[in-house]
Chains A and B, each alone.
Chain A
């Protein structure tokens, strides 16, 4: 392992538990590159995760790390951040974790615009339980609970986060790691709720049920289907493709700032 990233890992906890070909390790690498690039104090940075394959990431990272309950990572993180705002708080979730069971917490964290940096590892499936469809599984794709194809419509997570009030919304893939690192850094610099969706491959479950080939094929598909928003000519995303890059950025008051400012103002006024 490269010495510049080694200090951020709990080396003794490796090798990790993810399947061969899983993209989660790549996401982790980009996250660490971003934390390193931002020069964040390791003692003042906390990683919060939910339940699922992606959420196991927290255990491998050498920070104060909190592996919570399924779907609730953002709510735990809200308690941490609100109680100790000086902590840099990253929240790692899977697509099922964040958009199904945790969907309510997602929209409310976004609505508050609380200063959290959320990463959603989107592999389009519940991997840890063996491949059931999630709200991010595309229509007609197969899963163990959608043997004849998924009839659900899937979320557009970027539009969802934007609509709910997130002030930084971006997407990358595990193929575009430099972009991913950059987006995580930008997301963290945004003072407010930031969401980065990472398209990542689950060859074991999603890939296998949908005959998507080897892990390398799935990576290649990420390369071929991702369209950087900067190179988008007429604003139309071609059929079967998806956008990557910084998709939305806005200015809005941050929750904790608002709270602390209002409380300070009250005390200065001698309110109590």
Chain B
């Protein structure tokens, strides 16, 4: 571990990306994510990497995909409005299976909303923001050190499964500064994309084995293959053949589905004896932890279930919990987005309540405590 220091969530994303091997960043300034761009503009310039400030968020996402195709580990960071603009090319990355990481520091929306204030309104956009069914992985840190760890993991997952991975922060976590002790470089596990083991003339760029993830050649290495956002066959060329279309789209889903047990991540606090379990993620989980402690002081048996990967959702973990006689309260800074997923998983077996707030401030423990008392 390194010496303890004060670090901001956005800074931890930047540092985590560098630790994961980031060597290409394209971005466009937008509050409250700008620090990621600022920090990396300097660090990549210093360490021989590439930084470019593009003309908009669409171009940033495009440049990231282009760089990744040459073998770079590439990332962009943005917030609300910029995240909307990136969606088309995020879909491209999903379709063409180009590894990349997108940091979205959520602010209040819709539209320009409140630029400097926290919200969690992009939960569904992170999952379904681009058109068409597609696989995606979304991670939600709730502390600064988790921003660091999960950014490294985001790169590892992106590389391993050839998918765009979204780091979904909120303004609280992105701008919060905390004491952190980071692992030293040799303690960090790094996963790189699978390289082709076939000679260039035998390389079938989108054919996969049992793991459903094709190997990936870099541009400029003699493989001379085609990449398109059109539905394509294993050779990479556009097709409208219904069988190939179905099997290609199936594989995109399956490669995440198949590996869901190793992708999902969640945390449970004091759930063993809990009668009420609060479900929260990101900055909200911090308030929930306090509310839980306050409730315990009153003798209320309250626990917390915190999805760390929200997509894929830690479904099996929540199902296990729901087999017990507990009530759930999903606490979110939106009008109930992950609540829908919780309700789906619980399937009516348990009562699922909500506590929602979107007023530009982090939901207060007192507000949550009141809700606990109401439903207990």
Contacts and interface: CB of A to CB of B under 8 A. Distances in A.
Given A78-B59, A82-B50, A272-B46, A65 B226 contact: yes
B221 interface: yes
A69 B63 contact: no
Contacts of B71: 83-84
Interface stretch (B32-40, B170-178, B227-235): B227-235
B155 interface: no
B168 interface: no
B353 interface: no
Contacts, number: 138
A79 B55 contact: no
A66 B222 contact: no
Contact of A46 (B63, B220, B230): B220
Given A68-B92, A72-B89, A84-B219, A79 B228 contact: no
B362 interface: no
B63 A78 contact: yes
A268 to B, nearest CB: 12
B279 to A, nearest CB: 36
For chain A, the bracket of interface size reads: 35 or more
Contacts of A83: 23-24, 50, 66-67, 70-72, 74
A104 interface: yes
A191 B58 CA distance: 26
Nearest to A79: B66
B220 A59 contact: no
A75 B66 contact: yes
Nearest to B60: A75
Interface of B: 23-24, 26, 45-48, 50, 52, 54-56, 58-60, 62-72, 74, 88-89, 92, 218-230, 237-238
10 contacts: A13-B237, A69-B88, A76-B66, A78-B62, A79-B63, A79-B64, A79-B67, A79-B74, A84-B218, A271-B46
Interface of A: 10, 13, 42-44, 46, 48, 58-59, 62-69, 72, 75-84, 86-87, 104-105, 107-108, 259, 262-263, 266-267, 271-272
